[in-house]
Amino acid sequence: DTAVSQTPKYLVTQMGNDKSIKCEQNLGHDTMYWYKQDSKKFLKIMFSYNNKELIINETVPNRFSPKSPDKAHLNLHINSLELGDSAVYFCASSLTRRHFDIQYFGAGTRLSVL
Amino acid sequence: GESVGLHLPTLSVQEGDNSIINCAYSNSASDYFIWYKQESGKGPQFIIDIRSNMDKRQGQRVTVLLNKTVKHLSLQIAATQPGDSAVYFCAENIRGSQGNLIFGKGTKLSVKP
C-alpha cells in the first residue's frame, strides 16, 4: 500500500488553464505538505496543513490554493497556469507538526504547462 | 553539495567503495538535519537524521556527521551498491519552525559496477 499517494502522476496542460493535484496519506498523520521541485532539482516548501489548518504558507502566488477536506487529504488547485509553474510537485506528510517528525514524500506529479 | 552552473554536482564511485556526500548549511539556528535519497522518477526517501546535540549518527551502511563549527554535514555510505545511485539531499530545520524543511541543492551519486 502506498503511504502518500498523488494523482495524477503526469499533467500536461495549456497556459491559462486551471488544474488540481490530489494527495492522500494512509499513515494516520496529522500534518501534510506541498513542495515544488524545479528543473534544477531544487526542492522548496509551499504549504503545510495540520489537521486541516494552514500552518505554513511560503511566498507562493495566490493562484495556488491548497484545500484540506480532512487530515488525510491535501489537494492543490492552481488557477491560470503559467509556463513557470512547470515543475514536479511533491506531497508529504508527518505524524505531527512537531519539529523533529520525519516527512514522508509521495512520488510526485510532473506538471508541464505549454 | 554546492551547485555548479545548471548541473547537479556529481559523485562517481566504484561499486564496493565508500561514498562521502557533503552539504553546507547556512543557518546557525538549525537544530535538526535530514538526508533524503531521490531516485529517478520517485519522491525523496528518508535515509537518516541527526539533531544538533549530536555529531555522529549511524544507520545501516550510512553514517551522518555534523560539524556545527563550520556548518557542515556529511553522509557516508559504506560499500556503495548500484542501488545507491540517486540524488541525495540534505535538509535542515530551524529551531522553532514547524516542519519547514530547507533543502540543499542535491548531489547526484553514480555507482559504477
**How many Å apart are CA A3 and CA A106, to the nearest integer?**
8
Q: What is the pLDDT, as a whole number, of residue B1?
A: 36
| Furthest-apart CA atoms within chain A: distance in Å | 40
Cβ atoms of A49 and A66 closer than 8 Å: yes
Please judge whether A105 and B44 are an interchain contact, meaning their C-beta atoms are less than 8 angstroms apart.
yes
Q: What is the pLDDT, as a whole number, of residue B53?
A: 95
Find, among A36, A38, A40, the residue nearest to B8 by Cα: A40
pLDDT-derived band at A1 (thresholds 50, 70, 90) equals: low
Give the pLDDT mean for A59-67: 91
Please judge whether A105 and B43 are an interchain contact, meaning their C-beta atoms are less than 8 angstroms apart.
yes
- Lowest model confidence (mean pLDDT) among A36-45, A50-59, B1-10, B65-74: B1-10
Cβ neighbours of A2 (radius 10 Å): 10
Q: Cα(first)–Cα(last) distance of chain A, in Å?
A: 33
Q: Which residue has the higher pLDDT, B1 or A68?
A: A68
Please judge whether B34 and A102 are an interchain contact, meaning their C-beta atoms are less than 8 angstroms apart.
yes
Give the pLDDT mean for B26-34: 91
**How many Å apart are CA B70 and CA B81, to the nearest integer?**
30
For B42, which of A45, A97, A107 is closest by C-beta distance?
A107
Q: What is the pLDDT, as a whole number, of residue B2?
A: 37
Q: Is 70 exceeded by the pLDDT of residue A104?
A: yes
Please judge whether B100 and A48 are an interchain contact, meaning their C-beta atoms are less than 8 angstroms apart.
yes
Residues of B in contact with A102 (CB under 8 A): 34, 46, 49
Extract the runs of DSSP E, i.e. beta strands, from chain B: 10-14, 19-24, 30-38, 45-51, 56-58, 62-67, 72-77, 86-94, 102-103, 107-112
Q: What is the pLDDT, as a whole number, of residue B98?
A: 74
**How many Å apart are CA B66 and CA A72, to the nearest integer?**
34
pLDDT-derived band at A98 (thresholds 50, 70, 90) equals: confident
| Sequence-separated (6 or more) residues with CB below 8 Å from residue A61 | none
B55: left (phi over 0), alpha (psi -120 to 50) or beta: alpha
Q: Is 70 exceeded by the pLDDT of residue A80?
A: yes
For B100, which of A4, A56, A105 is closest by C-beta distance?
A56
Residues of A in contact with B44 (CB under 8 A): 43, 90, 105
- Lowest model confidence (mean pLDDT) among A43-57, A87-101, B72-86: A43-57
pLDDT tens for B15-24 read 999 999 999 9
Q: What is the pLDDT, as a whole number, of residue B7?
A: 67
- Lowest model confidence (mean pLDDT) among A14-28, A33-47, B12-26, B90-104: B90-104
**How many Å apart are CA A64 and CA B97, to the nearest integer?**
22
Give the pLDDT mean for B43-65: 97
